[in-house]
Amino acid sequence: MVQEVNNIPSSNGYQRHSEQDSQGTYKGKRENVDSAANSSPQPKETSKTKEISLKSHQWFGNFIAKNEVPRKSFHSSIGFITLYLYTQNVDYTKIKWPLIYAFIIIGALDLLRLRWPLFNKAYCRTVGALMREKEIHGYNGVLWYLLGLIFSFTFFSKDVAVISLFLLSWSDTAASTFGRKYGHLTPKISGNKSLAGSLAAFTVGVFTCLGFYGYFVPHYHYVNRPGEIAWSPETSFLSLFEISWLGGLVAALSEGIDLFNWDDNFTIPFLSSIFMHCVIVATQKSHPKVHAATQAAISAAQSMHLVPTGTTSTL
């Protein structure tokens, strides 16, 4: 009997066994739940950019995706089209209206496609060769392009507006092309801007101003009304080479400056038109408004016989 009693586990023994059993049961259930959770199919975390793919980027690879040949070709062609329109005596003051209409239409299409995935998919398949991956679910860079040109053609003289477009069309393309190819060999200037890209923008800017002011303005002088061309060798202290050199500097600065992280399709015409205007005005022998005010003062003085008749301003 004593042996039998001694073989009977105590209440503490029962408690310990029950706790171990309950812990083992809980642990087993926990493992079963975890294994079930791991074995259950997980929803695929696909980003929006993978839901809508740019087929042209997949078909042509680096030709479109990396080198952006169609996009850059279209970008550069705007400059040549503008140069042709300049030679055809198109009124530059009316250029802003087609730009505004295009901005409204493309902006409306962007608002629509960003809220309607099916339309966005069709849109991307249609013009995907001219788009970047980030623009699939973001606003089109063309909107910034148009906004910058609207600013230039609204507030500045004909030559400043046209040159700002040339710098956007050609200098920006050169900076992007040479920056991607040779940027790793030169120091970074700001953000993803390299010295190679800025030098390319500078070079193209110099030749752009040299060609426009040196050939097209004098050769097609009949398309320019009085006051439309702000710079001329007769009214400026700067020579053709000097204004061209400064034009290249303006191109490099406009392309290299990261202004509030804005799209460079806007900042390049925005900054280049402001810089070019300031350079031209600051180096004029006589600002037109100053000259007009001086002539008015001389006329008033002549009427009061304070100065001899025939006196003119020498500014």
DSSP states of 75-96:
HHHHHHHHHHHHHTT--GGGTH
Q: Measured in whole angstroms, how far is the alpha carbon of residue 79 from the centre of its chain?
A: 16
Q: Where are the alpha helices (DSSP H) in the chain?
A: 2-7, 11-39, 48-51, 55-60, 69-87, 96-113, 117-127, 141-155, 158-166, 172-182, 195-211, 217-219, 240-256, 264-282, 288-303
Q: What is the pLDDT of residue 169?
A: 92
Q: What is the pLDDT of residue 54?
A: 58
**Predicted TM-score of the model (pTM):** 0.71
Q: What is the pLDDT of residue 124?
A: 78
Q: Are 189 and 198 in contact (CB under 8 A)?
A: yes
Average pLDDT over residues 81-99: 92
Q: Measured in whole angstroms, how far is the alpha carbon of residue 121 from the centre of its chain?
A: 24
Mean pLDDT of the chain: 78
- Give the pLDDT band (50/70/90) at residue 306: low
Q: Convert the pLDDT of each residue in 224-236 to its tens digit.
A: 998 899 999 999 9
Q: What is the pLDDT of residue 22?
A: 47
- Give the pLDDT band (50/70/90) at residue 13: very low
Q: Convert the pLDDT of each residue in 36-75 to its tens digit.
A: 444 444 444 344 444 665 555 555 555 555 556 677 888 8
Quick one: 26 exposed, middle or buried, by C-beta within 10 A (0-12, 13-18, 19+)?
exposed
Token readout for 8 is 């009977």
Specify the long-range contacts of residues 34-37, CB closer than 8 Å, at least 24 apart. Answer: none
Q: Convert the pLDDT of each residue in 200-222 to its tens digit.
A: 999 999 999 999 999 999 999 99
Q: Convert the pLDDT of each residue in 246-302 to its tens digit.
A: 999 999 988 888 777 788 889 999 999 999 999 999 998 865 555 566 566 667 666
Determine the straight-line distance between the first and last CA of the chain, rounded to whole angstroms.
133
| Measured CA distances, 162 to 82, 158, 209, 269 (Å) | 8, 6, 10, 10
Q: What is the pLDDT of residue 257?
A: 82
Closest CA to 112 of 25, 285, 104, 80: 104
Greatest mean pLDDT among 125-134, 169-178, 301-310: 169-178
Token readout for 293 is 């005010």
| Measured CA distances, 50 to 24, 47, 122, 139, 304 (Å) | 45, 5, 15, 17, 80
- Give the pLDDT band (50/70/90) at residue 240: very high
Q: What is the pLDDT of residue 190?
A: 73
Handedness of CA 58, 60, 66, 70 (dihedral sign): negative
C-alpha span between 43 and 68 (Å, rounded):
34
Q: What is the pLDDT of residue 291?
A: 59
Q: Are 208 and 164 in contact (CB under 8 A)?
A: no
Burial pattern 66-89, b for ≥16 Cβ within 10 A else e, equals ebbebbbeebbebbeebbeebeee
Q: What is the pLDDT of residue 186?
A: 87
Percent share of the chain, pLDDT over 90: 40
